[in-house]
Structures are given as C-alpha cells and as structure tokens.
Structure 1
Amino acid sequence: MYEAALHHIRVNGAADYATLPHHNLETHSGHSVSVAKDPRGSRLLQKKINEGTPQEICKILKELKYHLHELINHPFGHFVIQKLFQSSNISVAQKNALVYLIIVDLQKLKNVCMDDQGNRVIQQILANVKEPSMIHKIAVIMRSISLALMKNFNGGYVIQQCLKLFPPVCQNIILDVVAKNCVDIAKDKCGCCSIQKCIEYDELPAFMQLVNKLIFNAVDLAEDSYGNYVMQFLVKRKKMEVNSMLISRLRYRYIRLSKNKYASNVVEELLRYSGADNVAVIARELMKSPEFLNLVQHPYGNYVVQRAVKYTEGPLHERLCSIILSNEKKVSSCLYGKMVLLCARAGCNQ
C-alpha cells in the first residue's frame, strides 16, 4: 500500500510540481546555498524571499531545492527554509514542491525529524501545509518511519504534530502504525512518552485498536520499567470501559503484580481510578489469597493494600480493615505492616 502511494507521488509529482523541475537528485551548488549558511547572508536571503520578484524567487528555489535537508539542520540555513514556508511570496504550488522534495527521501526525512533543530523546522513546515492532498501524501510517507520516530525523543514531537494538525483520516494512517507496534514503542525509553500522547486521541477509530493491543499485553507492559507508565496513563484517562477491560485481563495475577516494583503502580492506579465495582474485584482477589499478609508486609505490596483500604466501600471495606487489624501482631513487626495498620485504623474511623 505504501509503495503504491509513493509510486503515485513520484509519477504524478512531475505534473503537480512543474514549478520546480526535479530531473534527479544531483548535487547542485548554487550561490544561494552558501549565502543561506552565512549569518548575515541568511538574513538577506530571508528578506529577498519576502520582497523578491517571481524570477528572483524561482532562481533561489532552483539553487536551494537539492540542499533542503542540509539547510534544515544548519544553524542559519534553517531560518531560510522556514521563511520559504511562511512567506506569502512563495506560491502554494512552490511550497508543495518543496515539501515533496523533503519527504520523498525517507532516510534524509527521518534524519531531519530526529535532529534537535530539524524536528522543530519540520513541525513548522507541517503547520504551513494546508492542501488536503499534500497532507495525505505526508501522512502516507510518515507512516513508514513512524515507528522509528516514536522511539526517538525529537522524532516523537513530529508524530505528535502530525496527529495534532492532520484531519482524522490522516491521523488514523499514523495511529494505525502506532497501534500495531505499541508494545515495542511502550517498552522504549522515549517511546513510552510518545505513545502517551497518542492515547489522548480517543475519538479516532484506531484508538480502540491501540487500546486492545495494550490490554492484550497488559501483564508484560505493567511489569516493564517503561511500559508501566503507559498503562498508568491509560488508567488515569478514567475511561471506565477501558479500565474494566484491563482489570479483567489482569485477574488472578494481582498478588504477583502487587509485589512487582513497576506493576504495583499500575494496580494502585486501577484501585484509584476504576470505581467501586472494579475496585472490589481487585480487593477480593487480594483478600482471598493465602499470601495476603505477606503482601501487607511487602515493600511494594503494602502500598497496594493501603490504596485498597482507601477506595473500597461498605461491607467490603469493613471486612478488609478487620482482616488487617485482626492480624496486628503478625504484621506490626515491620515498617510496611505498621503503615498498613495505621491506614486500616484510619479507615475504621471514617
């Protein structure tokens, strides 16, 4: 599908973008390129872009067009590239031609998106592209590098910009890739932050595909040093249907998860954000386990028990506090047990 779309761009691009002939990507050293890299020259060139004649603009574009990626990453050249997209002196067709030349080379596009400065320039370029057909072409191209960008600190911002600016059909093109690779992304140091931004797009069809994949792999992700943050973020969205699905998926593993350094945080948030009925499912499983008293005294598990005491209600809450307090001698021998006892006493006085 991607190859066909790229072929369509290449075949039809020559007619659509005749204002900038691009026979092949040969090196073309022009005066404007060296000027753009000079501090003073960059300012002069930006002024010329705003005030120049159509003939002068065409000459500048002809000289710059094969050096776009290089200039995007340059300390002074990037100002010239931004000016090309901001200036009303550059036609929509000319801007589209420049966009095409930037996105058609995937490796160079990926490199600029991952660059500290380049990603900011690409974001500004995206903000200045208005033509629906070009936006769709960008989405199709971005689809093939979305996984790499999601796992990169700078690249993640480019994906976020696409999701922020693009119409739903184009958002789904990108979010579909994120959903299919969500486990790989969520377990990555940068990816776990990027994917949390994607979870906010809960009105898109691809959102449920993403959620279903995350929930299917919930145990693996909850116990992961980065994946657990994704699961916590999902829970904190307070989508009761989603939290119910997640609680169901994790059933009969709550003792194990509560003793895990990372997964215990996920269980705590489920108790906090899932409503009384769902909290009861987790609390009953913990209380019925022969390992419950060990959990009360566990470095991580004790926090889960405290959260269960806080968010259970009615007879279940009373029963939970009663079990803890009736085993005071057994659990008061360690600091964690004492903390749970204090919580249970406070719960009885509510």
Structure 2
Amino acid sequence: MSTMLKSLQDLRSATEKDPAVPPPPHGVTPAPPPPYGLTPAPPPGYGVTPAPPPPYGVALAPPPGYGVALAPPPGYGVAPAPPPPYGVAPAPPPPYGVAPAPPPPYGVTLPPPPPYGVALSPPPPYGVAPAPPPPYGVAHAPPPGYAPPFQPCACGLCDESPLQWMFNLMTRSEEEDAAYPFKVFISNLDRRELLGVASLLTSDPDYFLEIARNKNGSNRLQKLVGKSDDVDNLICDAILYRFLHVMTDKHASYVATRGLRVFAGKKKEFMCEELIHHALLLARDRHGCVALNEMLTDLDHPYYRNQLLDIVAHNALPLSNDTSGNFVVQHVLKLNNPRTMGNVALSLRGHCIDLSFKKYGSYIVERLLEADESVAVVVMELVESNGDRLMRLTRSEYGNYVVNKALKVTQRRKTRVDLFRGLVQKLMPFLTFLRKSRGNNIAVFLESVHQTEVA
C-alpha cells in the first residue's frame, strides 16, 4: 500500500515539473490520468530527427514572393486633374447610385471641352439618323424634308443619285449642253418617262425653285411647259406653291410667264387668282414689275385682265411714286384702254404737278396728255395752279417737258381750244422769266403763238 502511494506521489511531482504539459485552462477539468500500467502517448514530433543544416556555403532558399515588387497603389503616378477656370463651376457629382464614368485608357487623350458659354449640340433622338449632307452641285441647303434614297446612276460609272443628276442636267452650261442638247433629250422620252422627269423636278418646291432661279435651269423648264397636260399640272403646282418667290426672281419669273401663256382651264384661273392677290407686291418689286407687265400684255382672260387693270388704276398714286411701280402705271397707260386711262387720271387728279417735278412721274403725266380721256384733267390742273408754282414747274428739269407737251397737244386738238387759250394766258406773264432757263422752249412757243395772233 505504501509502495502504491509513493508511486502516485512520484508521478504527480514529475507532472508538475514537466514544462511541456501546460496546466488546463481555468474551469476545464483536466484529463484523467491513464489507467494504471499504461504509458502516456508521447508529444507530437517526439522521436523525429530534425533536418540537417545545409552544407557550408550553400545559401538558404528565399521565402516565397521574395524579390517581387509590390503593385503600386491605385492612382499612383497619375497627375491630379487641374482645377476648373476661374468663374466656371465644377461639374456636379453623379446622382446617388449612378457610377461615375470610368477614366480613359492609359495613353488616350480626352477631347477638349467646348468653349465656355457654348452649349453642346444635343444628339439626335434615339433611332433617328442624322441629316445627310447636301447633294453635290446644290449651292444652298437641300430641300427641307426631301431625302430620297440613294440610287446609283443608270450608267453605272458614277455614284450620283437621280436628284443630283437631274440638277446637274438642268443647270449645266450651254457648252456642256451642246454635246447632247436638253431639247433632244426630252424629245426621246415617252409619256411615262417625261412624267417621271417632271415628277423629280417638282418633288419639292424649294428644289424646283433652285433650278428655276438658274438661268439655264429656267430656259430648260420653259421647254418642258406644254409637253403634256400631266407635266403642266406638276409645274403649275410647283409655281403656285412658291408663286411670290418665282415671280420676284429675274429668271424664275420667265417660267411663270410661259406657264400663263400655255396653261388653260383651271390652271390658268389659279395663276390669275394668285396674280391678283399679289399684284401690288409684284408692282413694287424690281423684277416683279417686269413679270407683271408681261402678264398684263399676254393675259387673254377678260375678267381677270380687267381686275388687274382696276387694281393698278385705283392705286396709281402710290405706284407712280414708287421706283418700280411707276413702270407698271406707264405700261397700263400704253395699253390704250379708255376705261383704265380715265380711272388712272381720276386717281392722279390734283397730283399731276407734283409728279411732273419727278423724272418717272413726268413720264406718266405725259402719257395722260396723249389720251382724250385724261388730257383735260392735266391741263385744268395746270391752269388752276398757283402762278409761282407753275413758273417753277416750267423752269424745272422735267416739268418743262410736261408744260411744253400740254401746249402742243391742246393746240393740235381743235376740240380743246378753250384749254389751249387758258394755258397760254396763264403762261404769258412769265415769258421774260422763261428765257435763258430750262423753260426757254416754252418761251419760244409762246412767242410764235403771239406773232401768229398779231398777224
């Protein structure tokens, strides 16, 4: 018994003295000792011989990753963005939850921002293609809303679309047209092909106007007018759509004038109605007055012709004082329409002396002196005028021709002897002042009349 107790004490003391066996953690019951007679298991690695050291002079292998440079931190070596210019607010941060745009790849330069205060043009709506460039040979912007699909030329040697090819054909010079004249070209077309050419030319009013404004284009469009009723319908519609622009252009107006001569029925009526509607605007335009005069000469529709003449006659005073409108009044008086001559004279009554001081106004007054319906209006105004005003008129640059013509016309017309004698008596007191002036021709005439009466 004593021997057993001694053995337990020796084991306990050996366990306390062995540093390899740590005491159990606080609160953990130590493992019970092995049953009596059993040897405890050796610790891990017990009895294993360690690896021998390397031979002398041999360096140990470096640890893994030794000698490999670490990756630089993000943004290392990238210069910070410069601050915005003075007075320019920095770009706002992206909305919450939206990731900012990634930086450009290394070596790629971003495009410069737009100038300060200049807004970027917005991109086209999604699914809408940007506008195509203008057709080759068209100086101005392409017709709005007209974008025909590209089709190669029939010859197969060029890449022109039909619209481009037609524009070049219509506006080419006379030297280029000599090789294959346009007149020969349209004469070789059948009815369907001719209608196709007219359809292409009038597919857009602005495109038609660009061709008509060209001198060669205007001449070739005039050759198409009258080829067929279908072609005339298309050309008439194109003219009416841009009537005022066509009539006020030097070359395009010839297309409309040609159309008014050739068109018949409803087409002519539509043209006349537009002409009446814009008559005063055309009369005051430099090229429109020429076109209006030609149409007044060629118009053979009595109703519309009389309406145009009445418009000019009732507005004769403002038109006579206009640099372009006075040519229309002169042209109307040349037509020798008695009704119109009388209406013009009534519109200008009381203003004939004022007009006689002006170059173009004096032409109109002289025209009135040539007609029986209006001569009395002019002469009576001269006779009833103030003496000082009449003397200034006879000595003026243009007025002396009016007074001289009034004397000769009334002397020649035996039925208006009273007007002649009244004008002579009005001028005789100024005979001395008329000599050695612009009115010298009037003084010579009065002296001859006086000598005739004395004899």
TM-score of the aligned structures, taking structure 2 as reference length: 0.59
Structure ranking higher on relative contact order (CA contacts 8 Å, 6+ apart)? 1
Aligned to 1:289: 385
Check the 8 A contact 1:192/1:226 in 2, yes or no.
Answer: yes
Aligned to 1:125: 224
In the aligned structure 2, how far is the partner of 1:182 from the partner of 1:100?
A: 29
Aligned to 2:155: 32
In the aligned structure 2, how far is the partner of 1:187 from the partner of 1:225?
A: 8
Aligned to 1:238: 336
Aligned to 1:139: 236
In the aligned structure 1, how far is the partner of 2:307 from the partner of 2:155?
A: 48
Find the partner of 1:94 among 182, 193, 199.
193
Report matched runs for 1:65-84 at 5 Å.
Answer: 67-75=165-173, 76=176, 79=180, 81-84=182-185
Aligned to 1:300: 398
After TM superposition, the structure 1 stretch with the greater mean CA deviation from structure 2, 96-105 or 71-80, is: 71-80
Aligned to 2:437: 335
Report matched runs for 1:1-350 at 5 Å.
Answer: 25-32=148-155, 64=162, 67-75=165-173, 76=176, 79=180, 81-87=182-188, 90-127=189-226, 129-131=227-229, 133-167=230-264, 169-204=266-301, 205-272=303-370, 274-275=371-372, 277-290=373-386, 291-312=389-410, 313=413, 314-332=417-435, 334-345=436-447
Number of equivalent positions: 296
Check the 8 A contact 2:152/2:159 in 1, yes or no.
Answer: no
Which structure features the higher share of helix residues? 1
- Greater gyration radius: 2
Aligned to 2:72: none
Aligned-pair CA distance for 1:30: 1.3
Check the 8 A contact 1:296/1:336 in 2, yes or no.
Answer: yes
Aligned-pair CA distance for 1:206: 2.1
Could you say if the C-alpha distance between residues 134 and 234 of structure 1 is closer, same or farther in structure 2, counting changes exceeding 3 Å? same
In the aligned structure 1, how far is the partner of 2:265 from the partner of 2:382?
A: 42
Aligned-pair CA distance for 1:118: 0.6
* 1:120-163: CA deviation from partner (whole Å, max 9, x where unpaired): 11011114x222x5423422321122221222111121122112
Check the 8 A contact 1:175/1:198 in 2, yes or no.
Answer: no
Check the 8 A contact 1:150/1:185 in 2, yes or no.
Answer: yes
Give RMSD over aligned pairs.
2.8
Check the 8 A contact 1:186/1:195 in 2, yes or no.
Answer: yes
Structure 2 regions of 5+ residues with no counterpart? 1-145
Check the 8 A contact 2:396/2:438 in 1, yes or no.
Answer: yes
Q: Which amino acid aligns with 1:254?
A: C
Check the 8 A contact 1:33/1:64 in 2, yes or no.
Answer: no
Percent identity between matched residues is: 20
In the aligned structure 2, how far is the partner of 1:80 from the partner of 1:26?
A: 28
